[in-house]
Amino acid sequence: MAAADAPVPELQARADACAAQLCAADRVLLASHIDADGLTSAAVAATALERAGIPFEAVFEKQLDADSIAAIADRAYGTVLFTDFGSGQLDLIAEHERAGAFVPVVADHHQPADADTEHHLNPLLKGIDGASELSGAGASYVLARALAARSSADERLDNRDLAGLAVVGAVGDMQASEGDLRGANAAIVGEGVEAGVVEERKDLAVYGKQTRPLPKLLEYASDVRIPGITNDERGTVSFLDGLDVSCRADGEWRRWVDLSEGEKRTLASALVRRAVSRGVPAFKIDRLVGTSYVLTEEPVGTELRDASEFSTLLNATARYERADVGLAVCLGDRERALERARELLANHRRNLSAGIEWVEEHGVTREDSLQWFDAGSEIRETIVGIIAGMSMGADGVSRDVPIVAFAEKGDGETKVSGRGTGPLVGDGLDLSAAIGEAARAVGGDGGGHDVAAGATIPAGTEAEFIERADAIVGEQLE
């Protein structure tokens, strides 16, 4: 493929080298990360390998570490394709490569370790931001396009139809957190639009436009808090009933997708008027409208049609270690796998509300500069962070100080999750530094972002961890 036709020209030479290695392989082991971006990365790569006639097998890992890489080496595949991870572990991977265990091909967007390999596709190597401009699924898509150019005589099979999955991966990786996908991600959206599989439109920026009944859509939308609507079921219902739009049909609430364009405009402007009259600041009201990414080949009113709902569905499969289900949905299974994924998501939502109830019932302990709770084995370590964040503002849980949660991880380890708020970050909160530093002081490790961070510490060090984290947060918020 000429660089001019490539989705991300800067990466084309590397994508070609990776594609050449894959085409020369008898068979490939495809290893990917378990989350929405990792699952879509694997689905893009799997489809491209299949179309190129390259036999492969897919495996998933929560974490790529020395043990999991050794297990991959033991599988005796001559070529291993890593997607959505691999760059950060290139030092470990390179040891196996030198020992002749396998030839690695890496399509990733995380910070590379201090080692390189011949077949390495990563936006950071070319000055493209791997946190906001290209996801793992995007890197995998760039590879898929190069693979098609190399292997297919029929140029209609150029893999551009895989752009939808790449968009789902980027959205799932929170790369559109400011609303729009940018940079290389935007170039992929453009290819998807041209191929007729993606549509980009300005729309109400709330979660659940395809599947949620209107009252739930508005009531649960918490990015922009509107008094009388957000978390207020009665207020939302009376707001909807007062509109010049029939929000019910045959006794059932309609969904956003069921409304005509005119009805959508009426509802959106009434919502903006309500926000203005309740004193919501203008910069927040602007956030009520944003870019939606629609997968046009998926049926209207399903979570698969909206990139954000699709990625939530995939995350639900990943959190409960059902990568097989998530991958099957990405690959087109609209029966058993989709049904199972929906069950996992419903179950996930039940676990979240049960977890929040648990926190309300057991309460949090207040220190000088933070509050915390220890869920032990009552809340899964994979969701305790989300629950900690959602419980801020619930009964007995303040939004004035950050919250730290503990959960048992097994093997003598404790999972730590910290969550803050935008205003606290504005006051100087950096949970990544606080949690990371306190964890290392007690023999663990961690990090993340200023508003949300996590760590793993040895069981039994929780009290010392809290003491240290409390002191550090106290200094940050001084």
Alpha carbons 470 and 364: distance in angstroms, whole number: 14
Structure tokens that stand for 229 in this block? 């609507």
Nearest distance, CB of residue 61 and Mn ion, angstroms? 13
Which residues contact Mn ion (rule: CB under 5 A)? 37, 84, 136, 173
Nearest residue relative to Mn ion (C-beta): 37
* Strand order through the sheet with 120-121: 56-61, 28-33, 79-83, 103-107, 120-121
Nearest distance, CB of residue 324 and Mn ion, angstroms? 19
Nearest distance, CB of residue 53 and Mn ion, angstroms? 28
Nearest distance, CB of residue 39 and Mn ion, angstroms? 10
Nearest distance, CB of residue 238 and Mn ion, angstroms? 42
Nearest distance, CB of residue 393 and Mn ion, angstroms? 29
Rank residues 60 and 406 by Cβ distance to Mn ion and give the closer one.
60
What does DSSP say about strands 413-419 and 79-83: parallel, antiparallel, or unpaired? unpaired
Rank residues 37 and 303 by Cβ distance to Mn ion and give the closer one.
37
Rank residues 54 and 188 by Cβ distance to Mn ion and give the closer one.
188
Rank residues 61 and 470 by Cβ distance to Mn ion and give the closer one.
61
Nearest distance, CB of residue 384 and Mn ion, angstroms? 21
Nearest distance, CB of residue 166 and Mn ion, angstroms? 11
Rank residues 37 and 200 by Cβ distance to Mn ion and give the closer one.
37
Q: For residue 46, how far is the Cα from the chain centroid?
A: 20
Nearest distance, CB of residue 58 and Mn ion, angstroms? 16
Nearest distance, CB of residue 109 and Mn ion, angstroms? 6
Rank residues 8 and 226 by Cβ distance to Mn ion and give the closer one.
8
Rank residues 36 and 93 by Cβ distance to Mn ion and give the closer one.
36
CA dihedral 439, 443, 446, 447 (to 10 degrees): 50
Rank residues 215 and 448 by Cβ distance to Mn ion and give the closer one.
448
Rank residues 41 and 432 by Cβ distance to Mn ion and give the closer one.
41
